[in-house]
Structure 1
Amino acid sequence: MSVSASVVVGSHVWVEDPEVAWLDGVVVEINGEEITVDCNSEKTVTANLSNVYARDTDAPSCGVDDMTKLSYLHEPGVLQNLRSRYDMNEIYTYTGSILIAVNPFKRLPHLYAKSVMEQYKGVSLGELPPHPFAVADSAYRQMIHEGISQSILVSGESGAGKTESTKMLMQYLAYMGGRAAAEGRSVEQQVLESNPVLEAFGNAKTVRNNNSSRFGKFVELQFDK
């Protein structure tokens, strides 16, 4: 979704930069397929018209919680939105029914308390702020109402937080379907306590992750009717 021939001097755009990925600025000159952008970083960049992307000047500075609300769903627009939310410790963002998680590299325990799980029970996806609990609840409700198995795919590069996100999904699903065991431990606790066993066999330290999963995981939770 690059800027078309309709771009004019004064248009707000994103232009690629080798140091910070993308710079925002204003078009100051157009010469055929070559465009000059006066960036807000006080840097002037000349680029090919096909490598310049329109900037949504109406987007709120704090970002949006669902990126389908953006006027331009291209790489610089997506990255800017995620960064704006990340700066406010809003690490989860929707793109429709897809949940994007950005690893905060710090603990945010207030996001995963039992009281938070209660808030997401039975609430339609999108009514509350983006969260793994919302995705898990949606899958759980569809399983109950439709009577068929549901799948949640968690993907990302090494260190992105796939393992922790999976734990949050399992925590919520076990909480919704679990009962207290005879020895006082809940199903939720027992499910989560199984993770260290798998990690002991298949995790290792890498340059980017001290506890990196070195294997693919297929986790199946079965519920009684």
Structure 2
Amino acid sequence: MGSKERFHWQSHNVKQSGVDDMVLLPQITEDAIAANLRKRFMDDYIFVPWAKAGGGQQMPYFTDREIDLYQGAAQYENPPHIYALTDNMYRNMLIDCENQCVIISGESGAGKTVAAKYIMGYISKVSGGGEKVQ
């Protein structure tokens, strides 16, 4: 799929290479998955938006721009991101009036604490902060 050939549900706001969520491939076959991974690898677009930085440096994947991009968006509109998960959880909490839970697991040093901080920061930002955030 070339850069001009996008599905209607793919975001035009971000670089696109193949399909971010392989569940959305037209056919879910071993060949289709391999071709998608190959395309993304050749375009240098295999990434996880986690990166370690010394000194508490703000990473470009976790700015107010990303919060605005993911707030209220359907999960398939943007690349996979912890803000997509968090926004979905936050909206479900508001719609269903029920508590929500995110389970963060991984090995020591995998970024669990950092992930929790980004989740709490996102909720604080989109909820308006203040007394509503406990």
TM over 0.5: yes
Instruction: Please give the TM-score of this superposition, normalised by the length of structure 2.
Output: 0.62
Name the structure where strand makes up a greater proportion of residues.
1
1:152 alignment partner, one of 102, 116, 132: 102
TM-score (norm 1): 0.39
Q: Work out which of the residue numbers 173, 198, 215 in structure 1 matches 2:123.
A: 173
Aligned partner of 1:65 in structure 2 is: 20
2:51 to 93, 101, 104: 104
Separation in 2, partners of 1:109, 1:66: 23
Residues 82, 119 of structure 2: 8 Å contact kept: yes
In structure 2, C-alpha distance between the alignment counterparts of 1:64 and 1:158, rounded to whole Å: 30
Query: Does the CA contact (< 8 Å) of 1:133 and 1:169 recur in 2?
Result: yes
Q: Tell me the SS of whatever aligns to 1:111.
A: coil
C-alpha RMSD over aligned residues? 3.4
2:85 pairs with 1:135:
yes
2:45 to 88, 91, 96: 88
Q: Deviations over 1:116-171 (max 9, x none)?
A: 10111111122111111111100111111111111111111222222211111111
Specify the code of the residue in structure 1 equivalent to 2:64. K
Which structure carries more helix by proportion?
2
**Unaligned stretches of 5+ residues in structure 1:** 1-61, 93-102, 182-186, 188-220
1:153-201 deviation line (CA, Å, top 9, x unaligned):
11112222222111111110111123368xxxxx9xxxxxxxxxxxxxx
Which residue does the alignment assign to 2:6?
Answer: none
Contact kept, 8 Å, 1:89 with 1:104, in 2: the verdict is no
Report the equivalent of 1:116.
66
2:51–2:59 Cα contact (<8 Å) kept: no
Cα distance in 2 for residues equivalent to 1:65 and 1:84: 12
Equivalent residue letter for 1:138 = N
Paired residue type of 2:21? D
| Cα contact 1:63–1:84 (8 A) shared by 2 | no
Matches within 5 A, 1:207-218: none
Kindly state the Cα deviation for residue 89 of structure 1 after the two structures are TM-superposed.
Answer: 6.4
Which aligned runs of 4 or more in structure 1 are off by greater than 3 angstroms?
Answer: 103-108, 178-181
Residue 151 to residue 180, structure 1, CA distance change in 2 (3 Å) = closer
Which position in structure 2 is the counterpart of 1:54? none
Aligned residues: 108
Over the matched positions of the two proteins, sequence identity in percent amounts to: 31
Q: In the aligned structure 2, how far is the partner of 1:179 from the partner of 1:115? A: 18
**Residues 26-81 of structure 1, C-alpha deviations (whole Å, 9 max, x = no match):** xxxxxxxxxxxxxxxxxxxxxxxxxxxxxxxxxxxx66411334523xxxx6xx67
Q: Provide structure 2 residue ranges, at least 5 long, that are not aligned to the other structure.
A: 1-16
Q: Distance in 2 between matches of 1:135 and 1:171?
A: 13
Give the Cα–Cα distance (whole angstroms) in 2 for the partners of residues 179 and 156 of structure 1: 29
